[in-house]
Chains A and B, each alone.
Chain A
Amino acid sequence: MNSFGAVVPLLVVVGAALIVFLLEAFLKKENKNYLAYLSLLALIGCGILSANAWNGGLTYFDGMLRLDNAALFLTFLFLIAVAFVILIGMKYISLQDANHGEFYGLLLLALSGLMIMVSSTHFIVIFLGLEVLSVSSYSLAGLKRKDDKSSESAVKYFLMGSFASAFLVFGLAILFGTAQALDIPGLVDFFKAGPDNQVLGVVGLGLVLVGFAFKIAIVPFHMWAPDVYEGAPTPVTAFFSIGPKAAGFAVLIRLLAPYWNAGFRSGKLFGFLWALAALTMLAGNLIALRQNNIKRMFAYSSIAYAGYMLIAVLAGDGAGLLFFLTIYMFMSIGAFGSLIALSRKGREYNELGDFAGVGFKYPWIGAIFAVFLLSLAGFPPTAGFLAKFYVFVAAVNQGLTPLVLIAVLASLISVYYYLRIIVYMYMREPEREVSIEMENPALYLVLFLCLYGVLQLGLFPGNVLYLIKQAVAALL
């Protein structure tokens, strides 16, 4: 495969996005679903083309494009995630007055940004991918144009996002000036080489890490996340909760993994990230306890989850991280999907009080939602338990016991607010009238698939772990 062959999967996605933008102008409102089908087709095509590159481990464009198994695994993850988001969004956008075909196109562009980010080790490419992702995300967040919260979320995301980008760019400038390279192998050589420029280089690295910490919403760089998650259209929130986070962590582990054996763990960087992980888990879960808006509660929960993922990074456990991300994708999209299931035209039910008695009124939705919540809370034998458990074992193995202690404590706190929703659904009399739009087969399909994923990965994780093992060999 030559260099141009290697970008074909990306081009399929971008091309589909362009076609979607063009067709959008000509399609009638009731035919917008065709755009979704077209997008799904492109995702499948991209998946097939990417699958061909599995185990190839080739690099193109002087190493700027790197299709190793880790990149491909994450690409598949993103393809599935975006497919799910499209499916849960189809009905949603027409019900919530955001029926713009651009929804699909922007999602595809955001996907291309993710793919670019994870399949490169060169920071210019990663940065440009990040910007493609960010720019599409800003407008995705504001897609419900008549909704004040949606616009506010777009503003906040945009302002904070470009503020963080500026830090990232400045960090890159310093890194490039000191290390004279922006690809990860070059940076590794630089940091292993010797004392020249090291101090300034570390400052550059620090600023770059701040930029990525923003994207993966690590405390204290997380403040944008709750507002943006709450205001954005729910399918978009589902996308935010997994897409940027997974890509950010992939970059982070690619960046940090090579130092693993180089006295890194006694260093200050490690210590600081350790503290951030602890802070993120505790703060995320503690604030989530106070929330009455479930979407916002999930935003904080997703922040806390970034803390757990950071443990995997600190433990140098690439396989654990990928496994965690895979499982989190199913849980998170499932949970947000269940929120979408509880909506009707022009009305979304996101307050805790809305959920009183829902378990009896809509037994299927209630039961499925409960499974996702239990999984997020980490109850065995759901996948959520296994994900955390894997990471914790790896961390204890690496001597990160105090951090695991905090993580276990934090995750026990978190159980409280997840179960609070279940208690509302099953142990409360309905407080107010809740009527929902039942006819939404695409959404139910996604809920079913996520449910399947959560149970399958909880009970029979073998196959996925096998793939991850292959993938992670490339990462470390």
Chain B
Amino acid sequence: MTDVFWLIPFAPVLSSLVLVVFGSKLSKKWVSVQACGAVFLSFVFALVAFLGSLKISPEEFPIVKTLFPWIGAGSFQAGFSFQFDPLSAVMVLVVTGVGFLIHLYSVGYMAHDKGYTRYFAYLNLFTFAMLILVLASNMVLMFVGWEGVGLCSYLLIGFWFEKPSAAAAGKKAFIVNRIGDMGFILGLLFILVAVGSSEFSAINKAIGQGLFPQALATLIAILLFVGATGKSAQIPLYVWLPDAMEGPTPVSALIHAATMVTAGVYMVARLNLLFAFSGTAADIVALVGALTAVFAATMALTQNDIKRVLAYSTISQLGYMFIGCGVGAYAAGVFHLYTHAFFKSLLFLSAGSVIHALSGQQDMRKMGGLRKYLPRTFPPFLIGAIAISGIPFLSGFFSKDAILTEAFAQGQYFVWALGLTGAVMTAFYMFRLIFLTFYGQERIEHEAKHHLHESPKSMTVPLAILAVFSVIAGYVGLPAVLGEKADLFKRFLEPVIKPGAEGHIGAGTEWLLMLASVAVAAVGIFAAYVFYLQKPGIPHTLVARFPWLYKLLYNKYFVDEIYGAVIVNPLVKGSDWVYGHFDLKVIDGALNASASATGFFGKVLSFVQTGFVKDYALVFLLGAVIFLGVLLF
């Protein structure tokens, strides 16, 4: 049963080729059916392979299927080969499952776009590349997928290239990812030289046998992590992701929330032995993850563009995944990846539905009170927001809690504290978004209101499905405190992620930590409520609806003042400052500076190219004289 896994990637690529070649002759309906059907077929294969793999004993993993020997000569070998094990199983299920729903959603969302066929060709191609990335059994093939998803992402960000901002965003994503790719390539080269193969099994074996020194392992791990920071938008290479929101919203959901951006996390988890062996590299991963989690969250606080809030939120959540990997809880990191795929794509798609309903309006200041106009969009949105905020019994709670508990258990208190701070802000900005969008005064522009409509079925049905998964997906990974075997997810991944030295904490501490998580989430939501609904001019209906909350706040108004003055205002201002100074000036500045530096050198060099033969001969002569001088002296 599991043997069919190598077929998973091929339906989307065939579909993509057909769309490219015969695209102009196909009807819209046919395009939709074919593109969605191809991904669905992949999903079926993935499901079959997954169910089959449940019956296989852990020792037999990974199952490798070599399609053909690709690079067979020279100092190293790399086959065009796929491997299937629990980790890839999780990834292919997420990619094809969520991918299918997003394809389906796109049918409605992109219905009136003139680049409809092109869009689905890119999206299918992306799915293929992503599947190659997660199924590859060696790093060279993984790099094929890695570059492939990057290219598709670039094409899709710039999909509406008529918008200059979209073209610029594509460019930015492109340049930043180059830097990350450089790390990946160098890490890959070092692995090839050190191990003589890039097969994951060979790398793990080499580490197991202690074939290479720890310093080299650290170097390789850090280089690869640089690659991961590029793809997964971590400090300092996160800057491209918010701009990438210029692409169509389903693209943001699929590529920039659920799949591609998690490739870095996947790679770190895939090479968990390497990172664990290095130690230092793992600490760096945890620290960068934690800093990113907080940093991005602060920036999400003040964004007014609904998609940019979600983008910063994605960066922050990816930070949590890296915290998980960095503190050694790889399973928890992957678990968060898996739950995040559901609720974040849910959030993006619901946001897309809102934007669609408002004829393209993305500014939250021009929304408000949409709850009653979008009855099928609001509940899923709310579920997504609750899930990401870490309210118990929804998926986000379990995964985030698993990461933070492990961080604490490992004695990484600083990382844990950062994670917790991030959690407050997550709850705060998510509910700020909910309140600004769905509650409060209607601030909708007249024209948009005229066209205001709920989205079609093909959009709302995927929302409903994703909402269900956002609720239930967490129950495969219950906290350890509920029983040794409660964490099915972790046990499923054990063939890939060997349980390390677990930090031991008592059940009481664990409950306490859980309580802390819940508490900070509640504080965040509460604060959002206060600051975005509790303002002069709040409709009385709201007061009537939450009388106890209202009274509580009213009576302790001076507390709010202090709270606001001491915590939120500095936070908001700080966030503004960070966004204005650091993000725009330092990082963009660095990018622009490197761009103008290359431009400058290019200018100087081409200035020498005067067009006069004599100058050419002069340079030639100079070269010859220097050459002889070097040889002689």
Contact = CB atoms under 8 A, between A and B. Distances in A.
> Do A and B touch, yes or no (CB under 8 Å, in the complex)?
yes
B631 A202 contact: yes
Interface stretch (B3-11, B65-73, B381-389, B581-589): B65-73
A206 B631 contact: yes
Given A160-B616, A423-B158, A462-B69, A221 B185 contact: no
A415 B193 contact: no
B451 to A, nearest CB: 27
A419 B190 CA distance: 28
Nearest to B192: A393
Contacts of A210: 620, 623-624, 627
B598 A319 contact: no
Interface string B614-633: 01110110111001101110
B183 to A, nearest CB: 10
B72 to A, nearest CB: 5
A475 interface: no
Contact of B630 (A159, A163, A271): A271
B189 interface: yes
Nearest to B598: A286
Interface in B154-202: 154-155, 158, 161-162, 167, 170, 174-175, 178-179, 181-182, 185-186, 189-190, 192-193
Contacts of A206: 624, 627-628, 631
Interface string A363-390: 1000100000010000111000110011
A379 B71 contact: no
Contact of B613 (A156, A409, A415): A156
Contacts of A363: 24
Nearest to B24: A363
B627 A465 contact: no
Interface in A148-196: 155-156, 159-160, 163-164, 167
Interface in B596-623: 598-599, 601-603, 605-606, 608-609, 611, 613, 615-617, 619-620, 622-623
A415 B178 contact: yes
Contacts of B549: none
A133 to B, nearest CB: 19
B469 interface: no
Dominant secondary structure of chain A at its interface with chain B? helix
A428 B174 contact: no
A413 B598 contact: yes
Contacts of B181: 412
Contact of A462 (B72, B158, B175, B630): B72
Interface stretch (A44-52, A223-231, A233-241): A223-231
B147 interface: yes
B193 A220 contact: no
A303 B78 CA distance: 30
A25 interface: no
Contacts of B140: 380, 389
A466 to B, nearest CB: 7
Given A392-B189, A409-B182, A290 B627 contact: no
Given A379-B147, A380-B144, A286 B605 contact: yes
B631 A156 contact: no
Contacts of A320: 74
Nearest to B150: A379
B472 interface: no
B198 to A, nearest CB: 10
Interface string A407-440: 0110011011001000100111100000000000
Contacts of A226: 609
A408 B186 contact: yes
B76 to A, nearest CB: 6
A289 B237 CA distance: 23
Given A386-B71, A416-B175, A207 B624 contact: yes
Interface in B132-157: 140, 143-144, 147-148, 151, 154-155
Contacts of B162: 429
A200 to B, nearest CB: 10
A389 B139 CA distance: 13
A396 interface: yes
Contact of B620 (A160, A286, A460): A160
B80 interface: yes
A394 B605 CA distance: 30
B603 A290 contact: yes
B1 interface: no
B75 interface: yes
A287 B616 CA distance: 16
A380 B80 CA distance: 12
B56 interface: no
Interface residues of A, number: 71
B359 to A, nearest CB: 24
B590 interface: no
Contacts of B179: 412
A290 B596 CA distance: 11
Contacts of B24: 363
Nearest to A405: B186
B620 A393 contact: no
Interface in A191-214: 199, 202-203, 205-207, 209-210, 213-214
A220 B143 contact: no
Contacts of B515: none
A265 interface: no
B20 interface: yes
A223 B148 CA distance: 36
A283 interface: yes
Contacts of A381: 144
Contacts of A224: 616
B20 A367 contact: yes
A159 B20 contact: no
Given A287-B605, A289-B598, A397 B75 contact: yes
A268 B189 contact: no
Nearest to B158: A427
Interface in A335-381: 363, 367, 374, 379-381
A465 B73 contact: yes
Interface string B266-301: 000000000000000000000000000000000000
B623 A427 contact: no
B616 A459 contact: no
A258 interface: no
Contacts of B605: 283, 286-287
B618 to A, nearest CB: 9
Given A390-B74, A413-B598, A427 B167 contact: yes
B95 to A, nearest CB: 19
Given A393-B192, A396-B189, A286 B74 contact: no
Nearest to B620: A221
A298 B175 CA distance: 21
A382 to B, nearest CB: 10
A389 B623 CA distance: 30
B627 A272 contact: yes
Specify which of A167, A272, A374, A393 lies most central, judged by the most chain B CB atoms within 10 Å of its CB. A393
A184 B288 CA distance: 56
Nearest to B76: A393
Contacts of B601: 282, 286
Contacts of B70: 459-461
From A379, A396, A465, name the one whose CB has the most chain B CB atoms within 10 angstroms.
Answer: A396
Question: Most chain-B CB neighbours within 10 Å: which of A367, A415, A465?
Answer: A415
B189 A393 contact: yes
B602 A287 contact: yes
A386 B167 CA distance: 29
Contact of A223 (B71, B186, B192, B609): B609
A224 B151 CA distance: 35
7 contacts: A160-B616, A272-B627, A289-B599, A393-B192, A413-B598, A427-B167, A461-B71
Given A163-B620, A460-B70, 4 more contacts: A210-B624, A221-B623, A272-B630, A319-B73
> Sorted from nearest, which 6 A-B pairs have the closest CB atoms?
A427-B161, A223-B616, A220-B623, A380-B144, A286-B602, A465-B73
